[in-house]
Amino acid sequence: MNYAIPFVENDTSVTPDSAPSNLNKQSAGVSFFFVVLFTIAIYARPEDIFPVLGQLHLTFILGLCAGSAYLGSFLLGSVRLTWTRELQIVLLLTGCFAVGVPFAYWRGGSFQVLTQVWLKTLIVFFLLTQTLVSIERVRKILWAIILSELVVCAYSIVQSSHVVWVDQRLSGISMGILGWNFLGLAVALTIPYIAAICILQPGFFKTSLLISSVLFLMWMLVLTASRSGSLNVLLSIALTFLFVLRGTPRGKLIGVGIVLIALAAISLAPGVFWQRMATVWSGSENSQNEIAASAEVSKEERLGVLERAIHYSLENPLFGLGLGNFEIASGTEIGKPEAWLGVHNTFAEISSEAGVPALGLFVALLWTAIQHMRMLGKKTIAGPQGLELKFMARATLVSLLSFIFGAFFAHIGYEYFLYYPVAFAVGIQNIARTIEGTSDSVVSALTPELQTSAMNWGS
């Protein structure tokens, strides 16, 4: 039953059970501060713009500071560990990754991916699940991501003569998760949050920043001429309108604005974009020019590596080839330059490199987060933050669904992409439980007459 709580004067006996969560909000502040900086470091990658910063190893230093601050708070008893089903699944997935190292095709390479790639993802995911204890913190992380994407895309476009171009396609300045083919997936995951923030924080300055972000993201996307990325973003826009924007007049207006920006970017796209997109529906018979022929070859190569990934999954169903070993095994065994490619499919990547049990856990993680966000998006939560939590839950649902589509065209099983929206899902759930727990505690502390009044108040 959903209800609001009427004001009760001079009731000092009310002591909500959420006091530990309030303590968490304050004492994990230092750790969260470094988590925000870490997020900026991995999304904006300032060392790509200012190479001298590469010597500082920002992600390592900031991750170490965030982890140390949280560990210190935990040892002092000022924070408590938050266990969720998503965190348990990720830890089990880590176990699968680690157990497969001794059986890997190249053990040294598998261990390197485990410790230098996956361990960073695991640590930031853990810290996010422990420090996202208020809706304000969720907003701050989202703004860190959105502004980082804005800076990277704006710099790449404005300074296009100084950044990397590959076959008339803009690769951009970023060598991380905002680079080239990864950009479309990043945009698809961010669009629903931009839409939700536009509705929830309608100020002129913030709206201007969000509109600027959409403009630069869309134009950067068409310059990369990524087929899968473009389709992923179009799907994300459609799902965002369906789940996030449809219910309010302002939401509909924002949806129309996003669609117009996307249409404008596509209509002004360079020829390489249209030539590559044409291969999606025309096939090889119309691949008469060099760009279209190259796109068609790329598609055929991806189908080839997918077939090999399925073969390796069936051949090594329990432990797989080892993390990061698909490209090495494929290239070594086939002996052709075109065989040295990644899987370009996250699900096939995990099954071929970590085994079928790991794939099952990965799918379970997605399913769990999606189900939790779907239920929370339909639920009515009391209090001033209830509406914002509902919109954030719906935006996270769209982000996760967009990831599933994009994951069929990119091998990103060990990267940060998925684990940020899953961490948002965990944080949103915990915040909602805290709000509901506080409401229940307040009502249970009232007299029967006041309890009845409280319930009638919200009915």
Q: What percent of the chain has pLDDT above 70? A: 83
- In the chain, what are the domain boundaries? 19-441
**How far is residue 453's CA from residue 459's CA, in Å, rounded to a whole number?**
10
pLDDT higher than threshold 50 for residue 219:
yes
- Position with higher pLDDT, 442 vs 36: 36
Q: Element (H or E) spanning 170, and its range?
A: strand 169-172
**How far is residue 40's CA from residue 331's CA, in Å, rounded to a whole number?**
35
The mean per-residue pLDDT over the stretch 212-218 comes to 96
List 169's β-bridge partners, or say none. Answer: 166
- Picking from 261, 166, 279, the residue whose alpha carbon sits closest to that of residue 223 is 166
Residue 171: the pLDDT is 86
The mean per-residue pLDDT over the stretch 408-431 comes to 94
CA distances from 432 to 193, 379, 380 (A): 18, 10, 10
**How far is residue 304's CA from residue 169's CA, in Å, rounded to a whole number?**
24
Residue 298: the pLDDT is 62
- Picking from 89, 92, 96, the residue whose alpha carbon sits closest to that of residue 316 is 96
Residue 445: the pLDDT is 41
Residue 279: the pLDDT is 78
The mean per-residue pLDDT over the stretch 8-18 comes to 34
Chain segment 311-337, per-residue pLDDT in tens:
999 999 999 999 999 988 888 887 676
The mean per-residue pLDDT over the stretch 123-137 comes to 95
pLDDT higher than threshold 50 for residue 7:
no
Bridge-based pairing of strands 164-166 and 169-172 is: antiparallel
Output the furthest CA–CA distance in the chain (Å, rounded): 80
pLDDT higher than threshold 80 for residue 252:
yes
CA atoms within 13 A on the CB side of 96: 25
Chain segment 57-81, per-residue pLDDT in tens:
999 999 999 999 999 999 988 888 9
DSSP string, 118-169: IHHHHHHHHHHHHH--SHHHHHHHHHHHHHHHHHHHHHHHHTGGGSEEETTE
pTM given for the model: 0.87
Taken as a whole, the chain contains a residue count of 459
List 170's β-bridge partners, or say none. Answer: 165
**How far is residue 57's CA from residue 64's CA, in Å, rounded to a whole number?**
11
Q: How confident is the model at residue 17 (pLDDT cuts 50, 70, 90)?
A: very low
**How far is residue 209's CA from residue 157's CA, in Å, rounded to a whole number?**
17
- Picking from 197, 219, 223, the residue whose alpha carbon sits closest to that of residue 210 is 197
Chain segment 78-87, per-residue pLDDT in tens:
888 989 999 9
- Picking from 375, 429, 376, 365, the residue whose alpha carbon sits closest to that of residue 403 is 365
Contacts of 268 (CB under 8 A, 6+ apart): 222
